[in-house]
Amino acid sequence: MIQIFNLYKVYPDNHPALTDINLHIKKGDFVFATGPSGAGKTTLIKLIFCAERATRGQIIVNGINLAKIKKSGISYLRRNIGVVFQDFKLLNNRTAYENIVFALEVTGARRKEIKRKAWQVLKLVGLQNRLDATPLGLSGGEQQRIAIARAIVNNPTILLADEPTGNLDSEITQDIMELFKNINERGTTVVIATHNKNLAHQYSDKHILLEKGRVINPA
Amino acid sequence: MFLYRLLYFFREAFQGIKNNRFTHMVAIGTITLALLTFGIFIITVINLNQIFDDWGKRIQVIVYMDEDTSSEGIKKVKEKIINLTQTENIIYVSKERALITLKKSLHNQNGILDNLDDNPLPASFEIQLKEEYKNLQSVQAFVARVKGIDEVSDAEYGQEWLEKFSAFISMVKLVGVSIGCFLLLATIIIISNTIKLTIYSRREEIEIMKLVGATNFFIQTPFFLEGFIQGLSASLLSLGILFVSYKILISKIIIDYSLYLGYLDLIFLPQKLIIELILLGILLGLFGCAFSMGRFLKA
């Protein structure tokens, strides 16, 4: 599903973010990338959905070599990868329902299909009664659920999450993790970046431990 | 499918305008002000041209005859001048007529002419030229030909005045074009900066659209529609303000001051220029949008 060979990422200020990374994440895996802040977790996630480009090496996602993907191909790649962030990245001037529908509309989906899929994910994240609320009217946990709903509404094969529970208390964190687990059980490969090792150990035994841009124990 | 997408783009554009009312108002205000300045400039140039055209119509050539020309000779000269392509109208002024006119123009002091033994004034022709020949080069060419006729002693056309007038018109045109180009450039810079600000304020929205897999076409189209709507509203607004101001100017100032200014027939923008100004507004909106979007879509 995700294969990484001899990957290097050096930022323009000559700071090496990732050094010689080799990984293989299989279809249906539930993987945690852990490590202290600055270890390269976010860079790894960004490279997988093409928000950053590798300095050297290869990343193959769903059989597509990201080193060779054209700009126009990135949009289509992203429809197969859902991404969730610590700060949710929701549009505050749209309702919860509109935030989810938005991800379907930009792919040119039909209206009937949009309605059906949006309802499906709203039910999955348990927020079918909050669809008219704007993000500012929702709690942190609810906002993250909407962000997750938006990420999976296109039925992506991969779900990436960068510190998805960083802004949430421990009780809500457990709920969100259960939701990720649930999504994984439906067949989606899930990769979560977190500094919280305990959380990683609690939910999976597949860990990528990063330190100063290097993998300490490949998954 | 196509209709549904089109509907989506329009809905997004109007949603964008609604959600970013303030920045849109600033952008529309900026384009309106720029077009207004441009419109005032164009109206001024058009009206100045009109006035100059009016002055230009007063150009006439006076041809003086030799002292001893017979009435037969005068007829011949008249024939020759009428046959010249430049001639529109010709009036003969006899020696006697010239003296009467001079006396009239001297009013109370016409006594100074009483002691004359002989009428010293020559017979002459006053010639109006056709519209297309009322310019310095054509008048000079016409005068040269007329002077070549045997019985003609001299011809004049207010040389000094016409030369100065021509130089003035050329200068006004040059200054006008320079100011026009400068204004247009300044307008484009101001508009693209304003729209850059409106798009900058929505970079998060663009980032999220890219994140969920929207193509650049999908992201850009509603913004271009917004640019189109901005340009169209701004050009209509500026035309409205221009028209109202023009009407007020006509009804108040011109009527109140017509005694001092003489009769001034101020004209508004002709239809062709109105359409061009609307198109310019739309183009400015679209151009500013395209110019500012580029950098946000690069990554």
| Amino acid identity for residue B70 in this structure | S
- Tokens standing for residue B234: 């701004």
**Is A106 close to B19, i.e. CB distance below 8 A?**
no
Asked if residue B286 and residue B198 are part of one domain, the reply reads yes
Asked if residue B271 and residue B124 are part of one domain, the reply reads no
Q: Which of B19, B211, B213 sits opposite A93 (nearest CB)?
A: B19
- Residue identified by tokens 């247009």 is B184
Q: Which residues of A touch B208 (CB under 8 A)?
A: 89-91, 102
Which pLDDT score is estimated for B264?
A: 62
Q: Which residues of B touch A143 (CB under 8 A)?
A: none
Is any Cβ of chain B less than 8 angstroms from the Cβ of A64?
no
Q: Which residues of A touch B212 (CB under 8 A)?
A: 78-79, 102-103, 106-107, 150, 154
For B165, residues 6+ apart whose C-beta sits below 8 A from its C-beta are B52, B55, B56
Which pLDDT score is estimated for A20?
A: 93
Question: Does residue B37 have a pLDDT over 70?
Answer: yes
Asked if residue B199 and residue B98 are part of one domain, the reply reads no
Question: Does residue A10 have a pLDDT over 90?
Answer: yes
Asked if residue B284 and residue B201 are part of one domain, the reply reads yes
CATH of the domain at B125: 3.30.70.3040
pLDDT per position as a tens digit, B39-50: 888 888 888 777
Backbone phi, then psi, for A131, in 5-degree steps?
Answer: -65, -25
Which pLDDT score is estimated for B200?
A: 77
For A195, B20, B53, B60, B87, the CA distances from B57, given in Å and listed in that order, are 87, 55, 6, 8, 13
Residue-range domain boundaries for chain A: 1-80+195-219
A83 — pLDDT class (breaks 50, 70, 90): very high
**Is A107 close to B213, i.e. CB distance below 8 A?**
yes
**Is A91 close to B212, i.e. CB distance below 8 A?**
no
Please tell me the least confidently modeled range out of A64-78, B78-92, B186-200. B186-200
Q: How far is B236 from chain A (nearest CA, A)?
A: 29
Whether ipTM > 0.90 holds is no
Is any Cβ of chain B less than 8 angstroms from the Cβ of A157?
no
- Tokens standing for residue B18: 């609604």
For B176, residues 6+ apart whose C-beta sits below 8 A from its C-beta are B41, B45
At which of B156, B182, B214 does a domain end?
B156
Mean of the pLDDT values across residues B209-217?
87
Asked if residue B172 and residue B35 are part of one domain, the reply reads yes
Asked if residue B69 and residue B138 are part of one domain, the reply reads yes
Which pLDDT score is estimated for B129?
A: 87
Asked if residue B189 and residue B83 are part of one domain, the reply reads no
Which pLDDT score is estimated for A218?
A: 54
To the nearest whole number, what is the mean pLDDT of chain A? 92
Mean of the pLDDT values across residues B66-85?
87
pLDDT per position as a tens digit, A171-194: 899 999 999 999 999 999 999 999
At which of B138, B156, B174 does a domain end?
B156
Number of domains comprising chain B: 2
At which of B139, B156, B173 does a domain end?
B156
Asked if residue B64 and residue B110 are part of one domain, the reply reads yes
pLDDT per position as a tens digit, B253-266: 766 665 555 556 77
HEC profile of chain A: CEEEEEEEEECCCCCEEEEEEEEEECCCCEEEEECCCCCCHHHHHHHHCCCCCCCEEEEEECCEECCCCCHHHHHHHHCCEEEEECCCCCCCCCCHHHHHHHHHHCCCCCHHHHHHHHHHHHHHCCCCCCCCCCHHHCCHHHHHHHHHHHHHCCCCCEEEEECCCCCCCHHHHHHHHHHHHHHHHCCCEEEEEECCHHHHHHHCCEEEEEECCEEEECC
Q: Which residues of B touch A75 (CB under 8 A)?
A: 210, 213-216
A1-80+195-219 carries CATH number 3.30.300.30: no
B251 — pLDDT class (breaks 50, 70, 90): confident
Q: Which of A72, A107, A111 sits opposite B4 (nearest CB)?
A: A111
Higher pLDDT: B293 or B86? It is B86
Range of the domain at B146: 60-156
Asked if residue B239 and residue B277 are part of one domain, the reply reads yes
